[in-house]
A and B are shown apart, each in its own frame.
Chain A
Amino acid sequence: MTQDIKLLYVDDEELNRQMFKIHFGNDFEVYTVEDGEKGLEALETIDGIIVVISDMKMPKMNGVEFVKIAKERFPQKKFYILTGFEITAEIREALESGLIVKFFNKPFNINEITESIQEVLANDL
């Protein structure tokens, strides 16, 4: 069941993290961190995280930068970008190179995200 899927959400805004947890906590096991560095840490320490969703605008390193490093370390994990921005060249490149599975706009569509995760995991199997 989806409840077993461990999901990491990276966003520097507290309220965003809270909201994400509220909305997705039911369907997934949601972990949240506030920046890329903490994100990598979490991936190291928490075993079994399959999906990573990251905000773009963050201090120190932005979403794509974080994903690049994380993907290298954890090529099996699935990465997504969630952003309020329009698609940038950076994001497009990440998309095309398969770095990220998909990117989502804010405000997020819960169904869209849930479906995409299920799809990608189903393909994997």
Chain B
Amino acid sequence: MDLDLMFVIIALLLVCITLYITIVKLKRKHLQLQDAQKLQSQIYNEIPDLLWFKDPDGVYLFCNQRFEEFFGAKEEEIVNKTDYDFVDKELADMFRENDLLAVKLKGSSVNEEEVAFASDGHKEILETIKTPIYDGKGKLLGVLGIGRDITLRKNSEQDSRRSQDMLKMVMDSIPQFIFWKDLDSVYLGCNRNFANAAGVGESENIVGKTDYDLPWKKEEADFFVQKDREVIASKTPLYHIIEEQQQADGKAAWLDTNKIPMFDESGKVVGTLGTFEDITERKKSELELKKANEELVIALEKARKSKELKKANEKLEELNTKLKTSHKETKKLNRELIFTNDELGDKNKKLEELIQDLKETQSQLLHAEKMASLGILTAGVAHEINNPLNYINGGYLGLKKFHEGKGGILEEHIPVLLDSIKQGVERATVIVKGLNQFSRDNEDYDEVCDIHSILDNSLVMLHNRLKHKVSIVKNYCDKSVEVKGNVGKLHQVVVNILTNSEQAIEEDGEVVIETNVVNNNVVVEITDNGHGISHRNLKHVTDPFFTTKAPGEGTGLGLSITHSIIADHKGKLEYKSEINKWTKAIITLPLTKN
């Protein structure tokens, strides 16, 4: 193969290829053109809008499928016809008018009209845009018309308007005040209440104003703007801002305001929404309430105090009543006291009488006791005297017999007889003397009392009782012992004690009488070995009426009287005893000072 051939082949190939490509391109272009035409046609018929073109005389040159539906005819039928061929005159006139208007304006004219579609009779609201079309040279080719079904839009506009109206109505109806501002606190809108408060008349008039343009005070406006700024900056709402605001009518009002930031879709703050309630009344009420509360508190305080006072008053009244009662009682008591006093006076008198009686009784008792002791004595004394009497009698009888020469009395008997008489007289005299001593009934305490002689006398008086039963042992001290006092009473003392001793002895006993001088006192101890006194009774022996004898056998006063007599002599009486063994009476008496 030659190189040239190769070049030719290659050149031919290239040409073929180029041709091929060109043909393809041409074909493609043709197809493209076809497609473009198809597409164009498709577009015209697919678009939902009505599309038509009329020449300057209003003759249809073109329309789309949608338009066909409107007129209810095919494009072939519409082209070269006018509106008057399809719609009533009135409507056709309007069409024509609009076309001419567009031509006149040399620009688009827009209008809306409600039309009925001939195809199925349904109605639509069309927005028609008529645009005059010029060729390159400026010659009017015709008017292009585009009709869009804006029924929905219109409805939605209506709905929108209705909801806007609703919104406005709501905003204007509610008692709240509503406004909104932009980022610079310029008003964008408000409701009627706010408009009235701001004194701008209609709500629309608020737009573009600031707080400084409105009737509130400057300080108030500053406050509002400051709050706006806060909300915008913080992007958080402020609720329940309580603020004062001077209204358009000049009156000051109290507001409870909420300031809320408004956001766009991207979350950026675009302004503030404000709502407030006029709480002037409420504030007034609050203040009034507060005032009323304070007044109430004061009143309550007063009431409480008054209640306290009332209580105190009641208490006072109570006390008063009590006082009255107690006063009455006191008076009554007083009367009773007086009465009692009188009674006491009477009782006193009676007491005195009683005391008198008692004194007398005491005297009588003492007397009786003395008599009782005397009784003991008289029995003894009677017997005592009998003996001396016996002697005297015997002596006398003897002498008488001798004198008469009878009875065998001899001369040698005479001395005995005479002696008998003598002894009898002597004995009787002693007894009588002794008795006299005993029964001395005076109250002198300044007599000289010889203790030894008193002891002896008493022994004589009790001789008969003591004889054969009691042997007497006398242990007198050497000195003579004298006591200043009452002789008779001291006799009574000794007789009492000795009688007790004798009575304590059953059959055979001994009584020891001892006297001693101790410290200027005479101590007389009379000890018997009789049946003694029990420990229990020992302390009672000198009690009045205390006796261990059978009833009727003794007054029980003996030792009690003895005790008081010794006491009267400034002396002391003591008793010691051992039961069944012995009893000792110790009498201590102060000696007379020489």
- A residues near B (Cβ < 8 Å) are 12-13, 15-16, 18-19, 22-23, 25-27, 57-60, 62, 84-85, 105-108, 110
Contact = CB atoms under 8 A, between A and B. Distances in A.
Contact of A84 (B383, B395, B407, B423): B383
B468 A58 contact: yes
A26 B413 CA distance: 12
Contact of B393 (A18, A26, A62, A107): A107
Contact of B383 (A15, A59, A85): A85
Interface string B400-422: 01000001110001001101100
B395 A19 contact: yes
B398 A23 contact: yes
Nearest to B413: A22
A57 B394 contact: no
A23 B387 contact: no
Nearest to B389: A107
Contact of B468 (A27, A59, A84): A59
Contact of B386 (A18, A22, A84): A84
B321 interface: no
B420 A25 contact: no
Contacts of B564: none
A15 B408 contact: no
Contact of A107 (B383, B386, B409): B386
A80 B590 CA distance: 52
A89 B426 CA distance: 32
B439 to A, nearest CB: 21
A105 B386 CA distance: 9
Contacts of B467: 57, 59
B391 interface: yes
A22 B416 contact: yes
B246 interface: no
Interface centre among A13, A15, A26, A62 (most CB of B within 10 A): A15
Dominant secondary structure at the B interface: helix
A106 B386 CA distance: 6
Sorted nearest first, the 4 A-B pairs with minimum C-beta distance are A26-B408, A84-B386, A19-B394, A107-B393
B397 interface: yes
A110 B408 CA distance: 13
Contacts of A106: 386-387, 389-390
A19 B416 CA distance: 8
Contacts of B437: none
B391 A15 contact: yes
B555 interface: no
A18 B408 contact: no
Contact of B417 (A12, A22, A25, A58): A22
A26 B386 CA distance: 24
B407 A26 contact: yes
A84 B390 contact: yes
Interface in B234-250: none
A16 B390 contact: yes
B464 interface: yes
Interface centre among B392, B394, B395, B397 (most CB of A within 10 A): B394
Nearest to B402: A22
A1 to B, nearest CB: 13
Nearest to B385: A84
Given A18-B416, A59-B468, A60-B468, A23 B389 contact: no
A48 to B, nearest CB: 21
Interface string B328-360: 000000000000000000000000000000000
B407 A57 contact: no
B383 A25 contact: no
16 contacts: A12-B468, A19-B394, A22-B394, A22-B409, A22-B417, A23-B394, A23-B398, A23-B401, A26-B408, A58-B468, A59-B467, A85-B383, A106-B389, A106-B390, A107-B389, A108-B390
Nearest to A20: B394
A19 B386 contact: no
A59 B470 CA distance: 9
B468 A107 contact: no
